[in-house]
Structure 1
Amino acid sequence: MSAAVAAALPSAPPATGDVVRSLARIETRRLLRQPVFVVAVLLFVLVAATTPFSEYANADFVVTAENGTETNLDWPVLPAFALGLGGLLAMNRLTKSASRTGDVLLAAPATAFQRSLALCLVCLVPAGIALVGAAYVFVFWMVDPPIQAVAWTEFTTAQLFSIMVQGVLTAAGGPLLGVAVARWWRWPTAGAITAVGLILWAVLGSLFRDTSWWDRLLHHLSPFALVAANSETSTWIQGGSHHWRVVYLLGLCLLAALAACAHGSAGQQRRRLVRLSLTVAGLTVLALALTVLTGPEGYYGPWNPLW
């Protein structure tokens, strides 16, 4: 009798953490099958694995004018481009397809907040891949440093570490932005437009040589910024604090995640998200200010005519 009564009663709803983890597992499997993401990962793995063996400017590297002004310090471009932009497009498509088909709802009854939070957790996948690649290359930097790379001698080990972390954060921020854009901008090509906009933003930001704090601000405002500007005759070391820039990029990642989770929220939950977003935004602006004001000013670095 008691068994029959228990069976007739409605079961307790699953815990929020269980729902989010279940959704995240489903969406992770979908991401790993997403064609854009698969191509992006293969490109990243191929270039990262061969970096220490292809034009790696260590002590044995023969420096010639034909090598151009490329530098091993440009390596963070790879995770930003392959996993940041590739992850943005992949997560944008993934989020839109989940919203259209409702396949995610098959896992468990879930709120819009839980579905968005699960998608944000999936963005840790490209970030984790970028972290492994960055650690692999950073080990080579420390064991067999590319001492003949343009501008290499201008950075401490701690600064090099922060430069690497910035590349990893772009690999997380791009996919998070893809989720947020898919939630708030339903236009079919919104993800592609956002990716192109980010590329243009980064290119324009790299044009500013920080001869003033205003130029330095415009340079570091971009989600991705190179640490040096090289030409055929000179190298310009961009000023600013690389350590505080890590905090700034982390703030941008959190803001993208909060924007994604705010879609579909209401009442007290919406108010909490708004308060949290304002707090994170304030700290992000502070980190940007410290990036610009506490680091060194830009300057011309040493130049080898063979470069």
Structure 2
Amino acid sequence: MSAAAVLTRPAPPESSRAVVGTLARIEVRRLLRQPVFVVAVLLFVLIAVTTPFSEYANADYVVTPENGTETNLDWPVLPGFFVGLGGLLAMNRVTKGASRAGDVLLASPATAFQRSLALCLACLVPGAIALAGTAYVFVFWMVDPPIKSVAFTEFSNAQLFSIMVQGVVTAVGGPLLGVAVARWWRWPTAGAITAVGLILWAVLSSLFRDTSWWERLLHHSSPFALAAYNTEGSSWVQGGSHHWRVAYLLGMCSLAALAACAHGSTGEERRRLVRYSIAAAASTLVALALTVFTGPEGYFGPWDPRW
């Protein structure tokens, strides 16, 4: 029997899992050494640790015209901004580095799907980091809530939990998108362009009060969406269901992972991934529709002139 025949023989399931696990550990080590990711995580950890002690608008916070108030509800965007966007850039570079090492990888008993799956599994590391920081801050929200923060008291604990979870999910989705972009778009600055596009999308979605369904759709479709729209003279509590929005973001993550794994697939494997992608896309659209149409409508929240 030739060596080529041995290499092309399908590996048993146990062997496939072992290959993916080994590759995932390698990619995790590469991610943890990526300078962009290291800097992003350090900044996120610093902000997370100091949040409950720096301009934290709890019951003891003194609201004055000089101090103003704090919008602590902005915090859930930070995991997505630092860990998510930082992870996007880092995983994009890690994936491109893995592609440049193609000769070595092709000589190993791993398929293109397994290599992409290993990269996607490495994206759980940013999610774990975001989860730890978010859980730390959420405990303070529950024990010593920032009740003097703009619009904070307008949400139930269940809603606040979902709002926090959204930040964790975006911290996973960013790196997954970085892998997918690196697989399908080989331009050197593709990762940076994608990150800028996400930021512009977030800015656009935050420019309006969701006084209509299409404004609510624009707002919630963005991966980074604030729970309240605050100006110098008013506070607008954005409508929609924060619980269904978690499902929408999870659907976006699954689509990014499926897009990454589809690159290089062939035959029945590709057809199976296409079927999964269609199902995931349909579920994601349903979750977005439920986010927009099942939650409460937006409204003006309480406002203190001293703010």
Q: What is the TM-score of this pair, normalised by structure 2?
A: 0.94
Structure 2 CA distance, aligned partners of 1:255 and 1:69?
39
Determine if contact 1:98/1:104 at 8 Å carries over to the other structure.
no
Q: Determine the structure 2 residue equivalent to 1:135.
A: 135
Q: Determine the structure 2 residue equivalent to 1:172.
A: 172
Structure-to-structure mapping, 1:191-206, within 5 angstroms: 191-206=191-206
Structure-to-structure mapping, 1:77-88, within 5 angstroms: 77-88=77-88
1:253 to 2:267 alignment:
no
Structure 1 CA distance, aligned partners of 2:122 and 2:75?
24
Change in CA separation of 1:204 and 1:69 when aligned onto 2, cut-off 3 Å: farther
After superposition, give the CA deviation of every residue in 1:161-181 in whole Å (9 maximum; x if it has no partner). 000000001100000000000
Change in CA separation of 1:241 and 1:289 when aligned onto 2, cut-off 3 Å: same
Number of equivalences: 300
Stretches of structure 1 lacking an aligned partner (at least 5 in a row): 1-8
Change in CA separation of 1:51 and 1:98 when aligned onto 2, cut-off 3 Å: same
Determine if contact 2:201/2:222 at 8 Å carries over to the other structure.
yes
Q: Determine the structure 1 residue equivalent to 2:62.
A: 62
**Quick check: 9-18 or 29-38, which moved more?**
9-18
> 1:108 offset after TM fit, Å?
4.0
Structure-to-structure mapping, 1:238-249, within 5 angstroms: 238-249=238-249
SS at match of 1:59: coil
Structure-to-structure mapping, 1:182-221, within 5 angstroms: 182-221=182-221
Structure 1 CA distance, aligned partners of 2:239 and 2:107?
49
Q: Determine the structure 1 residue equivalent to 2:222.
A: 222
Determine if contact 1:19/1:108 at 8 Å carries over to the other structure.
no
SS at match of 2:229: strand
Determine if contact 1:69/1:230 at 8 Å carries over to the other structure.
no
Structure 1 CA distance, aligned partners of 2:275 and 2:246?
23
Stretches of structure 2 lacking an aligned partner (at least 5 in a row): none
Residue 47 of structure 2 aligns with an amino acid whose one-letter code is V
> 1:79 offset after TM fit, Å?
0.5
Structure 1 CA distance, aligned partners of 2:67 and 2:229?
16
Structure-to-structure mapping, 1:1-307, within 5 angstroms: 13=11, 15-68=15-68, 70-102=70-102, 105=105, 108-307=108-307
- Aligned-residue identity in percent: 79
After superposition, give the CA deviation of every residue in 1:80-120 in whole Å (9 maximum; x if it has no partner). 11101000000000000110023872894211100000000
> 1:304 offset after TM fit, Å?
1.1
Residue 201 of structure 2 aligns with an amino acid whose one-letter code is W
Determine if contact 1:92/1:181 at 8 Å carries over to the other structure.
yes
Structure 2 CA distance, aligned partners of 1:173 and 1:150?
28
Change in CA separation of 1:262 and 1:67 when aligned onto 2, cut-off 3 Å: farther
Residue 182 of structure 2 aligns with an amino acid whose one-letter code is A
SS at match of 2:87: helix
Determine if contact 1:26/1:104 at 8 Å carries over to the other structure.
no
After superposition, give the CA deviation of every residue in 1:191-211 in whole Å (9 maximum; x if it has no partner). 000000000000001112111
> 1:76 offset after TM fit, Å?
1.1
Structure 2 CA distance, aligned partners of 1:277 and 1:10?
32
SS at match of 1:57: coil
Q: CA RMSD in A?
A: 1.7
> 1:214 offset after TM fit, Å?
1.2
Change in CA separation of 1:183 and 1:292 when aligned onto 2, cut-off 3 Å: same
Structure 1 CA distance, aligned partners of 2:254 and 2:69?
35
After superposition, give the CA deviation of every residue in 1:58-92 in whole Å (9 maximum; x if it has no partner). 11111123334541110012101110100000000
